[in-house]
Structure 1
Amino acid sequence: MDIGRVGLWSIGLRSEDPAARPRIAEAAAELEELGYGAVWLGSNPGVDDAVPLLEATSRLVVATGILNIWQYEAEAVAERQAAVAKHHPGRFLLGLGASHGPLVGDRYRRPYSAMVDYLDRLDAAGAPASQRMLAALGPKMLAASRDRSAGAHPYLVTSEHTRQAREILGQGPLLAPEVKVVLDEDPARARAAARAHLAFYLQLPNYTGNLLRLGFDDADMADGGSDRLVDAVFAWGDAEAIRRRMNEHLDAGADHVALHVITGDRTGLPLPQWRALAELNAP
């Protein structure tokens, strides 16, 4: 499946409000014309959340980034994935993740084992491994991404994580990290916006544990995140600064970078920023 070199990660490109769907469809059509290869739907989307975007476009790949395995039964996901693939062949990518204990609650048990069981059920239902990716941070889940899917879609990572992930995946599997972007050249404003966004994720042990493995420490997690942490996880500045960070990930082994534009509106459609970043689609 060709997802191109640059994509966008967004919560705003999915909505349960029917009145919002025309606006989302128009945005998807524009993103395709701007040259983005894929869009990744955030905030625990289901397979059907991809359909309005697929219907509004002809080439754009739509991925779930990520579908929460505790929220959707594997057999139902396989059935809906097959139906979507029939109408939009080669354009839907099933991103799967085990989410986080504080968000899932009492059902959350042994996420790696739960993911392996979920993949077994998808296989038994006939869902193709070549059309799914895993939200993977640690070595075991990255290995599962390599062996049981088309590749990995890590979230909240640095270019060093991308390098380590490529070593585990080897050549062949897709590696498509999410990269957070603040289009602001003022260091104080950019870091303030980054910290406001990062605060939620620093409450989730899966992310903080991964950051600790990457060499950060508890002091980096305090007070919304140190400058060192913010500058490593976020790309901020003008479009050229974002290009440099994107290239760091590509040089480290990424095949595709899913740019996640951060503004004060977590669920909005930051079309001006997406337009400004469209130049990154040029070779």
Structure 2
Amino acid sequence: MALRQDIGRFGLWSAELRSDDPALGGEIGEAAAELEELGYGALWVGGSSSVEHAARLVRATSRITVANGILSIWQHDAPTVARQFAELDQERPGRFVLGLGASHAKLAEAYHRPYSAMRDYLDALDAAPTPVPAERRVLAALGPRMLALSGERAAGAHPYLVTAEYTAQARQELGPEPLLAPDLKVVLESDRDRALGIARGFLARYLALPNYTANLERLGFTEDDFRDGGSDRLVDAVFAWGDADAIRRRVDEFHAAGADHVALQVVDGGGHTALPRAGWRRLAEILDLASA
């Protein structure tokens, strides 16, 4: 698959790169160019990003793939998205991948029958005057039906807040051909108490969203694991933390489980108000991206 080759084994996932804060405008472009030079294969623009958010990173770089991680189907109508995709692809061919997700009932007022809504959205993208090619879109799949849809109607899946065990199950369900590009959060901290504190402060918001907890329950986690920002067992399963060797081992676990590409998100406890550029550089060193 061309997309698998284009994005390589390691990507960088960031909600900070989506920021509309004017104070970060210039730095976002500079950071994107640096991330390209550091050796990341893709930039995943988090925080319910739009085509416009991805486009500015495409224009600030020369070769790296930029993807939404993800664009909410409730916030952007399909004909407009298809037109924006076509315009960006004409301007910078092959540089953009459309990541789509059905979001969450607590975040989207129109949320209803997400699987059917996603299927209809893909139909609309296919029916546009310039369709969005299936091989240039991925779905934020978690449950079995959406995961199957990602293999049938898209290049593959970009699941968020998952474990290596989930990755192995997803690979088995998808088969060998579709792209599997899970997210993995990284805390660059070796002290266990500090690492778990940073992770829990970040994780708590996601444990209030039933789509995530339902998927984790399918993996054997329980209500006890969702309290107070997450149990030790849960944090250890969905985060990489520790020294360089520990972080490399966790990333390797995801690849060994069947991930083609791991979208790495540096979590430093600072929220989304500043770009964690020192952490991005350190992670590139840990993964030895310069020689990858």
TM-score range, shorter chain: over 0.9
Whole-Å Cα distance in 2 between the matches of residues 273 and 20 of structure 1?
17
Residue pair 1:95, 1:133 contacting (<8 A) in 2 also: yes
Q: CA RMSD in A?
A: 1.0
Residue type of the alignment partner of 1:39: L
Partner of 2:52: 48
Residue pair 1:7, 1:37 contacting (<8 A) in 2 also: yes
Residue type of the alignment partner of 1:55: R
Q: Is 2:245 the partner of 1:225?
A: no
Q: Identical aligned pairs, as a percentage?
A: 63
Which runs of at least 4 in structure 1 moved beyond 3 Å after TM superposition? none
Whole-Å Cα distance in 1 between the matches of residues 246 and 65 of structure 2?
26
Whole-Å Cα distance in 2 between the matches of residues 156 and 260 of structure 1?
11
Partner of 1:114: 117
Q: Is 2:34 the partner of 1:25?
A: no
Whole-Å Cα distance in 2 between the matches of residues 257 and 195 of structure 1?
21
1:124-139 alignment runs, 5 A limit: 124-125=127-128, 126-139=131-144
**How far is 1:264 from its partner?**
2.0
Residue pair 1:11, 1:266 contacting (<8 A) in 2 also: no
1:183-206 Cα deviation digits (max 9, x unpaired): 000000100111111110110000
**How far is 1:169 from its partner?**
1.0
1:244-279 Cα deviation digits (max 9, x unpaired): 111101001101001011112221211111111113
Unaligned runs of 5+ in 2: none
Whole-Å Cα distance in 1 between the matches of residues 270 and 121 of structure 2?
33
1:84-233 alignment runs, 5 A limit: 84-105=88-109, 107-125=110-128, 126-233=131-238
SS state at 1:181 partner: strand
Q: Is 2:86 the partner of 1:82?
A: yes
Whole-Å Cα distance in 2 between the matches of residues 278 and 88 of structure 1?
26
Whole-Å Cα distance in 1 between the matches of residues 243 and 108 of structure 2?
37
Residue type of the alignment partner of 2:88: V
Partner of 1:278: 284
Whole-Å Cα distance in 1 between the matches of residues 270 and 153 of structure 2?
36
Residue type of the alignment partner of 2:58: L
SS state at 2:189 partner: coil
**How far is 1:112 from its partner?**
0.5
SS state at 2:248 partner: helix
1:81-128 Cα deviation digits (max 9, x unpaired): 0111111111101000000001112x1111111100100101111111
**How far is 1:18 from its partner?**
4.2
**How far is 1:19 from its partner?**
4.4
Partner of 1:35: 39
SS state at 1:276 partner: helix
SS state at 2:115 partner: helix
Residue type of the alignment partner of 1:264: G
SS state at 2:7 partner: coil
Task: Report how many aligned residue pairs link the two structures.
Answer: 282
Whole-Å Cα distance in 1 between the matches of residues 213 and 19 of structure 2?
29
Whole-Å Cα distance in 2 between the matches of residues 246 and 53 of structure 1?
25
SS state at 1:269 partner: coil
- Among residues 256, 259, 269, which one is paired with 1:264 in the alignment? 269
Whole-Å Cα distance in 1 between the matches of residues 94 and 246 of structure 2?
32
SS state at 1:164 partner: helix
